[in-house]
Structure 1
């Protein structure tokens, strides 16, 4: 494999950028989510249990245990960590000397600390993915930034120290696990829409926060939606093994398919920093030659190619064509692709059964583990060969120490990752080495390796369920409480908020999928609205004057469940259609027995009490940035808030974008 110096630098910068977005997005929402007057105050998650300091820190690894020493409560400590994380990540993004293992270790520790108290609002797969990537980058980042030529001169190498490229292999392995598992779970879930290839006829409309482009995508013809599902299975299940292909053109082809998929998702859905992070992971498939780090190298090699190399190149090309042909044949065979030239469509259907897929999965899961073992072994042997090329006994000794440490860490993380990866196939999970299970269990709370599986099942097949909050002063006349981002007003276009994640809006989407008792935090939200707590109101409307009860809190609050559908082309001034379904949360007021009962049931009855931390040395450092940001997530510079009704309507684009 060609050198990866430039891809590693892109990876270091990309992860720093993602950390910056994640911390900045979280920082704006902390008062409303985790403050003393927030929905789920963070202080309740860190209650000393009479254990020793180090045992307490190991069992709940968060730096927020130290907040009281600085005179801060838990939420203030979380704000300070998020603010410092944003600044530190920005520095690592812009300044090469700050791309140091210690800097990334601090970023990882800060985000892990936040996740320990984040509760349901930080319980997403992309948060776990960022933590796993954040720990890997600690190993990938160089201890010292040395110019490439100097490295080659000192080590007698072509530009890389023996240990440098070894941890970067783990990024490829993580990308493989993420994509392969995400593809497999769509079929193991037995979701009829994935098996019927109709998932995308619902996805654009029912996803959490669609974009305006999702409206356009939703109205594409059904045959194109089904073909897109086939392409998704191809990219997520069949292509990932090519990440470890010895032929670089296959790896580059795999890279571009992954990039295409992530860009399409970004265009049609607001998935915060997740797709950006996945794009950053794909840098592990690149090399210096492809990124023009070694210009002219290809021409020089071509001019001096001997006949053995020419024969090898020919065999590689034949193997490459054979793999492309096999992928094409398998896709046509498994999904019954047929071209209808008269109607200019492509028909597709799933031609295999669940039992056949399960048997195939049992057959290939363990070999993919051995594929990872073989690829890692090759990387280890390559690193060992590079070590033999180091000149001088002192540089060789230093390289040996570094290679031993990073090699052991790489192997250990690989073994740990096998446990969550094998969840895709229970039989393989049971056959794993018991040592891997013990090692994974010992460090599981650090989230060094996680299981993944996105879009397992399609929801909202009969229309997307949506919870609409309403307030009233007299219990008879009700006013809707509109959120900034989630669907509400049928005339308002969907927003574009990437890479920000409005975490309350996201949880409102999950709450709508079941009864309110499945979302205990919702009762706390209702309580805070009745109390008129401004930090929570800022999560709903950053411009407080747009909140209908900004002058006086409502006396009563209730919630209704609606079904929403995208409007049809030609329905002027409307992006959505909706229909009332049922009452989601009964009308309550402060002191209402129903509300008090729910608060006791969910352990939320103490939320009205507030404790003050004693002033400390860091206390003045937290409040000063807050007035300039004003709590509101829409103040983040990369956000495009929803337009007012009528500024851009779907019917204006329907004619020009409608497929033939």
Structure 2
């Protein structure tokens, strides 16, 4: 079919820069996600993983949702999925599909969505994070932003703002309905110290004055509960609102490691930034922001409108959840992870516990010399300063944080982790920052629970240590290989 010039309302001519940032930015996040798949999935969920996918699909396949691995799983197929995702994501970052007709980037993003959906639906507890659904939904919507040949569809721009709204407003409401420390503005007296994965600056954020912490929390409430409504207002208000969201997310990036949640939220907020506002700030970019003005062929317009109608219909459930006094956090209402509910940290942990895993080569565990396995992101040795990993997602380290909270659902995979350490499994050892045995098998492995707290300014100056810790108890008594194999 030919172009339909009579539906100029369909074309968002002021959002070519937004489309450029959204398409390439979302593709970068997919690239990071698929690199993590290649590096971590086989060890955690592969044929000899901690929670093997074949066993999961055989046991709970009916609840898994759509996945290529329902047909069959192999580590070789998993690697093919991961590398295909990497190649497609790189092509989108380079803008190659966007240089063609609108169906070309559409197919590329739908391929990323489908491949990653297969991974998430087979990923069990290691992929049970809200930002997995957020990335899937963002990739699905990005598929309908079109190519350089057509104008940016205003329908998709609005749907992306609706996604940002659910992320921000959902997070704000879950805080107000949840832990009292958000309401009395004391949440940040604890959060920077007890968050899942501190960053290199988290210690300094924690040590900011108490009154400033209260100002931070109050400002967060404004950005999450008021600013999202402004995203739907005319320019320049929408761009200002987007800027406030982006600045808040940058603050969170500096203060911790939350995988790609903050980065993706910043990208999605760019859907409210207009070309005119960018040109006003950087006049030299004005000529480069002149994109296509034609809405595109009729089939494309109809398809985008149908998708928009479908998203509106599916929005009933998350909208109802936002208004509910029993609001659910990070809920999916269909097995395709589309149009879900989001939110984070409805409650704040007051104290930090960490599981420390140790091994020894000595014959007897009673009078042995124990050596600590060091994880990449989670706190371990007290003199090891936290690293910056986000937007990369260290799934094993996040699992260790939940384990320390006492979640019984985590123990099955942790038992397998101890077994793999006793076997000196190379895939598992590559997920760690330091193997004290250099690839050799230890005789015994144990796990103890420690209470961690940040050092004070005086302790930091004296010891140069980030943490102070003391033992609280024992999670796993010393295990040897033959004994643990009999148990599992």
Instruction: Tell me whether the two structures share a fold, i.e. TM-score over 0.5.
Output: yes
Q: State the distance in 2 between where 1:427 and 1:492 align.
A: 42
- C-alpha separation in 2, matches of 1:77 and 1:48: 20
After superposition, the Cα gap between the structure-2 partners of 1:35 and 1:58, relative to the gap in structure 1 and judged at 3 Å, is closer
CA RMSD of aligned residues (A): 2.8
Secondary structure in 2 aligned to 1:498?
A: coil
Q: Does 1:450 align with 2:340?
A: yes
Aligned partners of 1:226 and 1:445: how far apart in 2? 39
1:177 aligned residue: 166
Q: Among residues 576, 579, 582, which one is paired with 2:467 in the alignment?
A: 576
**Aligned in 2, Cα 1:428/1:244: closer, same or farther, shift over 3 Å?**
farther
Return closer, same or farther for 1:100/1:293 CA change in 2, 3 Å cut-off.
Answer: farther
What is the distance in 2 between the residues matched to 1:515 and 1:109?
31
Please list every run of 5 or more consecutive structure 2 residues that lacks an aligned counterpart in the other structure.
1-11, 99-103, 287-292
SS in 2 for 1:289: helix
Aligned twin of 2:322: 424
Partner of 2:47: 36
Deviation at 1:227, TM superposition (A): 0.8
Q: Decide whether aligned partners of structure 1 residues 424 and 46 sit closer, same or farther in structure 2, where only a CA change above 3 A counts.
A: same
* Alignment match of 2:37 (pick from 5, 8, 26): 26
**Structure 1 counterpart SS, 2:274:** coil
In 2, distance between residues paired with 1:57 and 1:192?
39
Match of 2:290 in 1: none
Q: Does 1:402 align with 2:292?
A: no
Report what 2:479 is aligned to: 588
Q: 1:262 to 1:26 in 2, by over 3 A?
A: same
Counterpart of 2:4 in structure 1 is none
Which residue number in structure 1 is paired with residue 115 of structure 2? 110
Partner of 2:481, secondary structure, is coil
Which residue of 220, 239, 262 maps to 1:275? 262
The answer as to whether partners of 1:104 and 1:134 remain within 8 angstroms in 2 is yes
Structure 2 match to 1:157: none
Partner of 1:639: none
For residues 425-460 of structure 1, give each alpha carbon's deviation from its aligned partner in whole angstroms, at most 9, with x where no partner exists. Answer: 33799xxxxxxxxxx96xx1111121111111101x
Indicate conservation of the 8 Å contact 1:563/1:579, yes or no.
yes
| Structure 2 match to 1:228 | 216
Taking structure 1 as the reference length, what is the TM-score of the superposition?
Answer: 0.65
The equivalent position to 2:155 in structure 1, one of 166, 182, 185, is: 166
Q: Deviation per CA, 1:158-205, whole angstroms, max 9, x where unpaired?
A: xx37xx22122100000001100100001111x132122111111111
- Equivalent residues in 2 for 1:44-193 (5 A)? 44-47=55-58, 60-65=65-70, 73-98=73-98, 100-142=105-147, 145-146=148-149, 160=151, 164-189=153-178, 191-193=179-181
1:470-497 deviation line (CA, Å, top 9, x unaligned): 2233212122222122111101111111
Q: Distance in 1 between matches of 2:251 and 2:128?
A: 25
Tell me, what secondary structure is at the counterpart of 2:201?
A: helix
1:618-637 equivalences in 2 (<5 Å): none
Cα separation, 1, equivalents of 2:281 and 2:474:
64
Partner of 1:245: 233
Q: Hey, what's the Cα distance between the residues in 2 that align with 1:228 and 1:296?
A: 33
Instruction: Give the equivalent residue in structure 1 for 2:449.
Output: 561
Q: Please tell me whether residue 470 in structure 1 is matched to residue 358 in structure 2.
A: yes
Q: Which one of 187, 191, 203 corresponds to residue 215 of structure 1?
A: 203
Tell me the SS of whatever aligns to 2:258. coil
Runs of 4+ with >6 A deviation: 56-59, 293-297
Matches within 5 A, 1:158-557: 160=151, 164-189=153-178, 191-246=179-234, 248-292=235-279, 398-399=297-298, 401-426=299-324, 444-459=334-349, 461=350, 463-472=351-360, 473=362, 474-476=364-366, 477=368, 478-514=370-406, 518-541=410-433, 546-557=434-445
Aligned length: 454
Does structure 2 retain, via aligned residues, the 8 Å contact 1:32–1:537?
no
Whole-angstrom distance in 2 between the partners of 1:108 and 1:250 = 32
Pick aligned residue for 2:22 from 7, 11, 36:
11
